Amino acid sequence: MAEPRVSIVVLSYNRPDSLDQALASIVAQTYRDREILVVDNPSPASEKVARVVAGHPEARLLRPPANLGFAGGMNAGLRAARGRFVYLFEDDLIAEPECVERLVAFAEREPACALCAGPVYDRADGRFLSAGGDVSLGSVFRATLRGRDERDTGQYPDRADVDWLPGCSALGRRDVLELLGGFREEFFMYLEDVEICLRIRALGFRICYVPGASVHHLPPPRTGTPSDLDFHRLKNLNALYVLHAPARSWPAFVARYGAMEGLRALGTSRARLWLHLRAWGWTIAELPRLLAERRVLAQVTRDVEHMR
């Protein structure tokens, strides 16, 4: 069997109704040289999800034994993918019919671009959610999305290099994603897309915004256990700084996000304080490993620069 040009990986968790709409938009894509893989993180709705996928015969269902979060779920799809490109997609999105075709055409023309995506709009009010993002790892962490909450007045008409793209809808080169080992599964969710984009750029590849390859985000927001998700959000930010931030920004970061946030948590609630201590405890325990990985990434970056 000939390998498809594009593997479309649709990540699902507990949203069979929106999944049905998402899959319908994927099946309706004008780009046909593809395979469609649905990764269902186990949830109370998994049986209904299976029935939804069965209603779209072109799609193949992958069922991990446990909830792997965004990072692990997308990696499960990446491991099963056969295409040269992998289009990462979530179950709460609707893609316009030419979305994949436009992204593939761009990626074919720009081999130095390892990840590309178009605009993401709020389905409810039509406002921008993303036109690509900028990242700053200084004493204050900033990861901002261009156009967020703006009306589309044509302000982002051109293709552009950006620092990062939301992982919910992006087309990537499978060889580069596999070289990186995919997303960091320990991140589970939150900042996993920022982190992999920083690694992509460290290898010398570009990340690009492609106007016209549009998707629309459906309500409701992601479900989950808030305390668990907050833990990942806190410790992932710490890990991001250990792995990628300039060392000169660490003292201010620790003062702000460690000491000052700890004092705020102390004055707020025991639950918030426990989450803070748990996240920083994880960071301290994993610090030697993270620092070792930082050194490897720095060496790879130097090697890439010498090859240019």
Q: Is the pTM of this model over 0.75?
A: yes
Q: Are residues 37 and 138 in the same domain?
A: yes
DSSP string for 87-149: EEEETTEEE-TTHHHHHHHHHHH-TTEEEEE--EEETTT--EEES-EEEEESSSEEEEETTTT
Bridge partner list, 169: 89
Instruction: Give the pLDDT band (50/70/90) at residue 227.
Output: low
- Is the pLDDT at 225 greater than 70? The verdict is no
Last residue of a domain, one of 174, 191, 217: 217
Give me the domain span that covers residue 236. Answer: 226-307
- 138-167 pLDDT, tens digit each: 999 999 999 999 999 999 999 999 999 999
Please give the angle made by the CA atoms of 257, 166 and 34, to the nearest 5 degrees: 150
- Residue 75 in any domain: the answer is yes
- Residue 267 in any domain: the answer is yes
From 28-42, 58-72, 152-166, 215-229, the region with the lowest mean pLDDT: 215-229
- Number of domains the chain is built from: 2
Paired tokens of 96:
């316009």
The pLDDT assigned to 28 comes to: 98
The pLDDT assigned to 226 comes to: 52
Helix (H, G, I), strand (E, B) or coil at 245: coil
Last residue of a domain, one of 171, 189, 217: 217
* Distance (Å, whole) CA 109 – CA 98: 17
Q: Are residues 132 and 29 in the same domain?
A: yes
The pLDDT assigned to 108 comes to: 96
Residue (of 44, 52, 50, 40) closest to 13 by Cα position? 40
The pLDDT assigned to 224 comes to: 47
The whole-number average pLDDT for the span 26-37 is: 97
Q: Are residues 156 and 189 in the same domain?
A: yes
Q: What is the percent of the chain with per-residue pLDDT over 90, rounded to a whole number?
A: 88
